[in-house]
């Protein structure tokens, strides 16, 4: 069974109408009706891979085989690109830098088997005992500046934005464990970049960020200045949806016409039946459909 989550046509058309304000006819290319999806995107989050014993419901060693299944399915389905939404790897209970880096290399070798562009979103565990520079040096974001921690790209009439919330509230970037996972923030410089990036595009937009922008119920998982970030997204009138990881149980909210969808974690629970990944179908008809695999349940708006 492949569960589905569908973004309402009304919300999609509202975002498309926002692009019309820009005055560019080509802006509406992604809003023209057609049969079938324009894009199919592989989504996965919170693999937390490490060669260490289980802790609670986290089965770290199993994540590499679960991720292998995900990549194989995405190749089979011939999705256009993949996005890993953060916490790619983890660390030992007593971390050793060389071993932590090896976990990144091991999982990236699996990711590299995907036959298409692949992208990463930075999560807090990606920088638990190594630096951002070390992590970025061990992974690939296809066609993106290797030093960029936040970036954007366009595909088939749609705009995609990847944000980096691995900063403390004082604006200092996470670095080798120099952080509290509950203290997550998007600095003013990145917010200004986001506003300018959205202003410059005339295309409907999807956003990816590891930590939550939506849930007041789990404040410890939320970006500290989430309201300020949402304000920028809403002002653009171009953002259809935001995709998170971080809160392992998953979830969904709609705030002021933007959908916020949180992926369930790969690392939680033992066995292939407890894997979690999805394909996002971006349709010209005005729908976004998330087709889930394994633990991603069936939710329709």
**Domain locations in the chain?**
4-294
pLDDT, residue 21, reads 38
Q: What is the pTM of this model?
A: 0.89
Q: Sheet holding 118-120: strands in order across?
A: 4-7, 288-294, 276-283, 37-44, 81-84, 118-120
The H or E element spanning position 291 is: strand 288-294
Cβ within 8 Å of residue 174, ≥6 positions away: 124, 127, 132, 166, 167, 168
Q: What is the DSSP letter of 284?
A: T
Q: Which CATH architecture has domain 4-294?
A: 4-Layer Sandwich (3.60)
Question: Which residue, chain included where needed, has tokens 């290319």?
Answer: 29
- Burial class, 153, CB count within 10 angstroms (exposed 0-12 / middle 13-18 / buried 19+): middle
From its phi and psi, is residue 242 left (phi > 0), alpha (psi between -120 and 50) or beta? beta
pLDDT confidence of residue 56? 96
Mean pLDDT per segment of 10 residues, for the chain of length 301 residues?
A: 46 48 37 68 98 97 98 98 98 95 98 98 96 97 97 96 96 91 94 98 96 80 94 96 93 92 96 97 83 79 39
Between the CA atoms of 129, 132, 133 and 134, what dihedral angle is there, to the nearest 10 degrees? 30
Report residue 156 as tokens. 């088939």
The CA–CA distances, whole Å, from 104 to 12, 50, 135, 266, 289 equal 36, 9, 7, 16, 30
CA distance 41 to 23: 28
Phi-psi region of 148 (alpha: psi -120 to 50; beta: other; left: phi over 0): beta
- φ and ψ of 229, to 5 deg: -70, -45
Q: Which residue has the tokens 């256009």?
A: 80
Strands 151-155 and 205-208, by their bridges, are: unpaired
CA 109 to each of CA 38, 67, 173: distance values in angstroms, whole numbers, following the listed order: 28, 11, 27
């Amino acid at each position: 069974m492949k569960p589905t989550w569908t973004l309402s046509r009304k919300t999609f058309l509202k975002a498309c109408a926002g692009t019309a304000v820009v005055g560019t006819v080509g802006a509406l290319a992604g809003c023209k009706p057609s049969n079938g999806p324009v894009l199919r995107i592989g989504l996965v989050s919170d693999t937390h891979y490490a060669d260490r014993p289980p802790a609670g419901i986290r089965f770290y060693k199993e994540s590499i085989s679960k991720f292998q299944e995900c990549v194989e399915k995405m190749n089979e389905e011939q999705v256009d690109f993949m996005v890993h939404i953060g916490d790619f790897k983890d660390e030992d209970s007593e971390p050793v830098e060389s071993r932590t880096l090896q976990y990144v290399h091991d999982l990236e070798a699996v990711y590299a088997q995907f036959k298409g562009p692949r992208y990463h979103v930075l999560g807090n565990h990606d920088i638990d005992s190594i630096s951002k520079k070390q992590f970025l040096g061990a992974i690939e974001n296809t066609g993106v500046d290797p030093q960029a921690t936040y970036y954007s790209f366009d595909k088939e009439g749609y705009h995609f934005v990847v944000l980096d919330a691995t900063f403390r509230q004082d604006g200092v970037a996470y670095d080798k464990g120099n952080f509290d996972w509950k203290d997550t923030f998007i600095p003013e410089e990145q917010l200004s970049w986001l506003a300018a990036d959205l202003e410059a595009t005339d295309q409907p937009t999807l956003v990816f960020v590891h930590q939550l922008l939506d849930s007041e119920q789990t404040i410890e998982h939320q970006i500290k200045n989430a309201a300020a970030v949402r304000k920028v997204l809403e002002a653009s009138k171009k953002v259809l949806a935001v995709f998170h990881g971080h809160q392992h149980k998953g979830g969904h909210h709609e705030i002021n016409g933007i959908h916020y969808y949180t992926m369930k974690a790969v690392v939680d629970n033992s066995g292939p039946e407890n894997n979690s990944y999805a394909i996002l179908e971006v349709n010209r008809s005005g729908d976004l459909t998330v087709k889930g695999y394994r633990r991603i349940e069936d939710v329709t708006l």
